[in-house]
Amino acid sequence: MGSQSRRPVVQMLERFAEGGPVSFHVPGHKNGNLTGLPDAVQGMMSWDVTELPGLDDLHAPDGPIREAQELLADAYGAHRSFFLVNGSTAGNLAMILAVCRPGDRIIVQRNAHKSIFHGLVLAGARPVYVDPVWDANTRSPGHTETELVREAIGMYPEAKAVILTNPTYYGRVSPHMREIADVCHGAGIPLLVDEAHGAHFGIGAPFPESSLFQGADVVVQSAHKTLPAMTMASFLHVAQGSLLDSQRISYYLGMLQSSSPSYPLMASLDDARHYIANYSEKDLQTFLSFRKELIAGLDALDGLSVIQPDDPLKLLLRADGHSGNDLSEALARVGVHTELSDPYQALLVLPLLKDGQISLQEVLSAARKAAETLGPGRKTGQPPEPATKPAITAADGPPEVRPEASSEWINYREAEGRLSAASVIPYPPGIPLLLPGEPITGEKIRSLHQHLTAGTAFQGTHRLDVQQILVSRQSPEAYYI
């Protein structure tokens, strides 16, 4: 294997741009010469090229792109790794399509990203949902426990795969991944993991171990979320000894990804792999020192408190008597932007520093100003824990929007006991609160009301501006088995 100090795609594009090429090919901006975009963007466009001689081809790599992907697999200990230029969404869709056919059962952690549910629709799969446990520390759904997965496989032995999310958006890491992998493999089915927020796992303690090293067969990671990669730049890894053929993954990635993949994104992925492969113990100590000082500084501010989830790259910030949405808006007004907010907290994604690229004092000064502008708070309380234990729910079809002829719009407060006919998705984090064909419980109505009261933004099919959601005319018994 080549040296992890190399960046084959970056070096390839540097050499090409230095040659002063004349463009009579696509793209139409002609090496940036015809664009009206600012200089900062125009300078990058000399790298925005196409599959020219010597520049290799992502869909049939045999040069620098192939070498870069081999270096990626070596860095992460995978059998085979792929660059994703259509985000982790493309990887999630590909692994689902590669494992099942229309009508097949597939076991899915209920608090998955919307792209997982979209993959089930595209595949025509029949999901078996396994609920997560409630995590009181992060005030959010956490991981799925081993026994529930074991029970689901026992109930549906024909299932083609188990799909988990690890870590959660809020930085909660499953302590059961290795056990669940053993259960899956004992039943002869692969374990697929959406590890979008774990591209930095594997650096070493105190960071968690990647699912790839705990028995997962396929792992998808968003390099752009926690590594220094551009938006949409992601990785897909197929494990050594995987139960899923990497050629099937490659086949579907060829269908799902653009036939004109972005070379700047590929260079960004090459650079992100280089960054983490060469992350040293000194770098780690730099990051941990920054994190420790940041936590101490934020905790010292009147009215603010910091919660530390499993992933050291995530922090939850709460303001006494204020919603997370209020806190996030106050921080944005002073130039500090959080990853997401919910009715209880704001989520910070820290930079994986190698040196002091961020002024800690500027951040703390801005946070102090934000806290002062919030003023006296009101009692927000704790989110109610689910009244029911984690359960297994199987649908007789994929989670696709019900036909309008068989659905109707009603006030969400009156929807308890009905079947949802569409997705309702707080975004971020992109985890559907309601899925098509899913029974609407009192707990879900209360959660929806809390999000609306706090000003959360929603995706999906809804009319929440007039407090309406789409429900099926069918009874729950007609859809769930």
Measured CA to CA, the distance from residue 343 to residue 322 in angstroms comes to: 8
- Give the pLDDT of residue 478: 45
- Give the pLDDT of residue 387: 65
Residue position matching structure tokens 């795969």: 161
Pairing mode, strands 105-109 and 126-130: parallel
Pairing mode, strands 314-319 and 424-426: unpaired
Question: Omega of the bond prior to 439 within 30 degrees of 0, cis?
Answer: no
Measured CA to CA, the distance from residue 189 to residue 95 in angstroms comes to: 13
- Give the pLDDT of residue 468: 96
- Give the pLDDT of residue 381: 65
- Give the pLDDT of residue 455: 81
Residues 6+ apart with CB under 8 A from 393: 110, 128, 129, 131, 438, 439, 480
Partners of 470 in beta bridges: 409
- Tokens representing residue 62 in the block: 């045999």
- Tokens representing residue 323 in the block: 């919603």
- Give the pLDDT of residue 404: 67
Question: Which residue type, as a one-letter code, is found at position 144?
Answer: T
Residue pair 315/295 in contact (Cβ under 8 Å)? The answer is yes
- Give the pLDDT of residue 30: 93
One digit per residue, pLDDT tens: the chain, 481 residues?
568 999 999 999 999 999 999 999 999 999 999 999 998 898 889 999 999 999 999 999 999 999 999 999 999 999 999 999 999 999 999 999 999 999 999 999 999 999 999 999 999 999 999 999 999 999 999 999 999 999 999 999 999 999 999 999 999 999 999 999 999 999 999 999 999 999 999 898 999 999 999 999 999 999 999 999 999 999 999 999 999 999 999 999 999 999 999 999 999 999 999 999 999 999 999 999 999 999 999 999 999 999 999 999 999 999 999 999 999 999 999 999 999 999 899 999 999 998 766 788 999 999 999 999 997 777 666 676 776 788 898 887 888 876 766 899 999 999 999 989 998 988 877 788 888 888 898 888 988 998 898 788 898 999 999 999 999 887 665 444 4
- Rounded to the nearest 10 degrees, how much is the dihedral formed by the CA atoms of 385, 391, 397, 399? 20
Nearest to 83 by CA among 226, 275, 273: 273
- Give the pLDDT of residue 279: 96
pTM of the model: 0.91
| Three-state SS letters, the chain | CCCCCCCHHHHHHHHHHHCCCCCCCCCCCCCCCCCCCCHHHHHHHHHCCCCCCCCCCCCCCCCHHHHHHHHHHHHHCCCEEEEECCHHHHHHHHHHHHHCCCCCEEEEECCCCHHHHHHHHHHCCEEEEECCCEECCCCEECCCCHHHHHHHHHHCCCCCCEEEECCCCCCCCCCCHHHHHHHHHHCCCCEEEECCCCCCCCCCCCCCCCHHHHCCCEEEECHHHHCCCCCCCEEEEECCCCCCCHHHHHHHHHHHCCCCCCHHHHHHHHHHHHHHHCCCHHHHHHHHHHHHHHHHHHHCCCCEEEECCCCCCEEEEEECCCCHHHHHHHHHHCCCCCCEECCCCEEEECCCCCCCCCCHHHHHHHHHHHHHHHCCCCCCCCCCCCCCCCCEEEECCCCCCCCHHHEEEEEHHHCCCCEECCCEEECCCCCCCECCCCECCHHHHHHHHHHHHHCCCEEECCEHHHCEEEEECCCHHHHEC
